[in-house]
Structure 1
Amino acid sequence: MVNELFYYSYPYYFPNFFNIKLNKYQFEVRFKFIQVFSSINIEKVFWVSEFIPSKISNQRKASIKKYFIEVIELLQNYDLIEDNYRYMSQGKIYKTSKLDVQNISEGFILYE
């Protein structure tokens, strides 16, 4: 996975994104953000349900969702995303003022 990050061909800027020791899932979540944010679309779609492995415990799933929320907060602190959030649930898209572990289970959308 490190090779994929090193040779990733799209420009991006994420301050202090990898300056701490990360576990496997924290790294993968941050790498996923880089992949999605490297697209040219202003709308950034994250399919959390497809990202989280189905064969892990519910506690681990909740931790991974928390990692997504941590990165969202980091990006918000650096004004890299708008606070115009949407989340997906049962195939529908809903607006929300805040994303949390409960409402990102299926997926969510951010805007640059």
Structure 2
Amino acid sequence: MQKRQKKQRLKPSLVSTWHKLEEAKVFREDILELKYQLWIARMRFVRGELSDEDLRQRANQLIAAIEMRHRQCFGTSARQLKLCAAELITEPYAGLSVGATLANPQTS
């Protein structure tokens, strides 16, 4: 008899699987990593080390990841909404701008 191997459920790295973005679950850390990679690509573009198409590709990947994250958070599934609500409870001011935090003096 052959033993069945269990698949390890590890978080996929978005840097190595750009083309499989639709299949991957996007985490907040992945979006931050994509923002950082886009920032590096912008600097390389300014120096002339990177082409316009490559920079545009990185930007499109970031946009796709943000849209996927938005669909995961605000989709129709109640479980997904509960997970996003838990993130908001743990970090309530994570997505707010500086102007919004000035309206709440308790946070500063």
TM-score interval for Structure 1 and Structure 2 normalised by the shorter chain: 0.3 to 0.5
Name whichever structure is richer in helix by fraction. 2
Name whichever structure is richer in strand by fraction. 1
Could you state the TM-score of these two structures normalised by the residue count of structure 1?
A: 0.36
Largest Rg, 1 or 2: 2
Higher RCO (CA < 8 A, seq sep 6+): 1
Could you state the TM-score of these two structures normalised by the residue count of structure 2?
A: 0.37
